[in-house]
Amino acid sequence: MLNLCMPMFREFENYLLLELNRSRHTVEAYSRDLTQFAQWLSGGVENATTADIRAWLGSLAPAESPLTLRRKAQSLRAYYRWLLKRSEISHNPAADLILAKAPKRLPEFVKEQEIEEIVNSYDHSDFTSHRAHIVMLILYSTGLRQEELRTLTDADIDFSLREAKVTGKRAKQRVVPLPPELLEEIACWQKARDAKYPDLESPKPLICGRSGAISKKALYNIVNSSLASTSAMKKSPHVLRHTFATSMLNGGAALDSVKEFLGHSSLSTTQIYTHLSFNELKKSYSAAHPRAKRET
């Protein structure tokens, strides 16, 4: 969290965290946006006008993406909405802003052959390699978010029911089924982890470093390095979430099922993967069907 010197900003942070149950990532982003606006304005943010906000966003437009500009506008909207609720202001100067149109981008994913080669290529006799293997296997097999994997503990894994209790965004929990082969891999990894770090406090983080749960940076580096040889443009943990969803839909899974696996609150969020899967379907048709070949 940022060290904001403005008491009102600090109260707003607590409101987002404690009352709206927003993620720390969201709160940090909103705090940065408000701080940046306050520094640009050189005055009281509470007295800013719609013209001030538009001028600020306009000054950022040459260097920032439409997606970033949208978030900054939304940060201010949320802050002024909160001030309005507290009767600190009489109107929301960000309410009538026209948000920058965000480009519709299909999620990046790793080709099935590439990811299968990766998860079958690790050396379990080496601790670092073994950890990379279990990280890649879990992310690809379950579609967990990076933070969901980081906070997963041994207590969340039920070997008898073959499932994991996952804590997602806004502390929402869901149950994810685990295939027998993955459970065997997890049990094997736990033995290696305990031999390496016998003094971990309970509940033990499933994926750990020297002093507890693995850091965001370390987890990112594992995935980024593992995906280095693939054709995917982005090589992050979230790409494996996209890969999971795409593989499920291409394999015939129902959209509702994929939604529950991913922990999406809205089906519309999951539907973007149907467009991606359909693109793959069109590519396969163009490459395989004689009539498609004749027309190209």
Catalytic residue ranges: 145, 169, 238, 241, 264, 273
Q: CA torsion 190→195→198→201, rounded to 10°?
A: -10
Q: Give the list of residues 6+ apart from residue 247 with CB closer than 8 angstroms, or none.
A: 112
Rounded to an integer, what distance in angstroms lies between the CA atom of residue 162 and that of residue 157?
8
Closest C-alpha among 184, 122, 175 to residue 148: 175
DSSP annotation of 175 reads E
Written as one letter, the residue type at 65 is S
Written as one letter, the residue type at 28 is E
Structure tokens at 213: 């749960």
Closest C-alpha among 215, 216, 212, 186 to residue 200: 212
Structure tokens at 69: 């500009």
State the CB neighbour count (10 A cutoff) for residue 171: 8
